[in-house]
Amino acid sequence: MRTASREQAIAVSELFGPVIQGEGGVIGRPTVFVRTGGCDYRCSFCDSLFAVLPEHRGSWRKMAAEEIFGEVRRLSPKPILVTLSGGNPALQPLGGLIQLGHEHGYTFAIETQGTVSKPWFAELDYLTISPKPPSSNMETDWEKLDRCVGSGGPHTDVLLKVVVMNDADYAYARNVATRYPGVPMYLQVGNDNPPGAAPDDATEPDVGGLLNRYAWLAEKVVADGWNDVTVLPQLHVLVYGNRRGV
């Protein structure tokens, strides 16, 4: 197996599974996670700071596509959905991994905030774009988001997902849906008590608060007659709490 060269190296924060996907348009699907390291955002509600903050680079592995796929096959010898997450996985050279996996029958989903578009997006099976709402304290570059939404290939399911913490986030999600008619939209309630950056920072989530916010959001969607949207919980948080690797 080749050693990862500088050009081929992919920063991997963690690689685990199979688990059940806990969010987005492929919620409930068995999947292996490849969580990359590095991000161009610093969202206030981030639940994976260990894959974002540069001071954690020392814990990230530099791996070639062949090495990563070897780990994926060890975890799931049968073809499975591979979720590319982060951080922002769009910052990594993942095209070779996707091609290699497809050759063996594996499928690939990514979640990215829509700030960086890559040619290999067109090879994905699922492209989930999750622009960040006002509660994230990040600003949306709409031109970059436009490019990302339009970057899927002929066999790519392009999906939109917005985390909703409050009324301002909900209004933002409505604006996103209006801008991209025809693209499936998912709303997901946010976690008020996400884990910190260190492995031992797995604080207990406010499950009651998550369920109350879900009820509030569901009622708001129904009252508005927003009938072509899907409202999701953070399933993995409800089932596993804030533990890593699930």
More confident residue, 155 or 238: 155
Which CATH number goes with the domain that contains 51? 3.20.20.70
Q: Which residue do the tokens 């951080």 mark?
A: 87
Is residue 173 a part of any domain in this protein? Answer: yes
Average pLDDT over residues 46-57: 88
Who's near 173: CB < 8 A, 6+ residues apart?
133, 162, 164, 185, 187
Note the pLDDT of residue 208: 83
More confident residue, 28 or 238: 28
Is residue 241 a part of any domain in this protein? Answer: no
Residues paired with residue 159 on neighbouring β-strands, in sequence order: 128
Is residue 225 a part of any domain in this protein? Answer: yes
Tokens matching residue 102: 């497809």
Is residue 242 a part of any domain in this protein? Answer: no
Q: Are 22 and 239 in contact (CB under 8 A)?
A: yes
More confident residue, 199 or 126: 126
Note the pLDDT of residue 2: 41
Tokens matching residue 103: 């050759």
The whole domain housing 134 covers: 10-236
Note the pLDDT of residue 202: 56
Q: Give the count of domains, the chain.
A: 1
Rounded to the nearest angstrom, the gap between the alpha carbon of residue 237 and the centroid of all alpha carbons in its chain is 14
Q: Is the confidence at residue 4, as pLDDT, over 60?
A: no
Confidence of residue 72 (pLDDT cuts 50, 70, 90): very high
pLDDT tens profile 182-208:
999 999 998 765 555 444 555 677 788
More confident residue, 149 or 49: 149
In whole angstroms, give the CA distance from residue 77 to residue 203.
33
Is residue 73 a part of any domain in this protein? Answer: yes
Is residue 246 a part of any domain in this protein? Answer: no
**Relative orientation angle of helices 95-103 and 65-75, to the nearest 10 degrees:** 40
Is residue 55 a part of any domain in this protein? Answer: yes
Residue type at position 119: P
**Chain-wide mean pLDDT for the chain?**
90
Is residue 205 a part of any domain in this protein? Answer: yes
Note the pLDDT of residue 22: 87
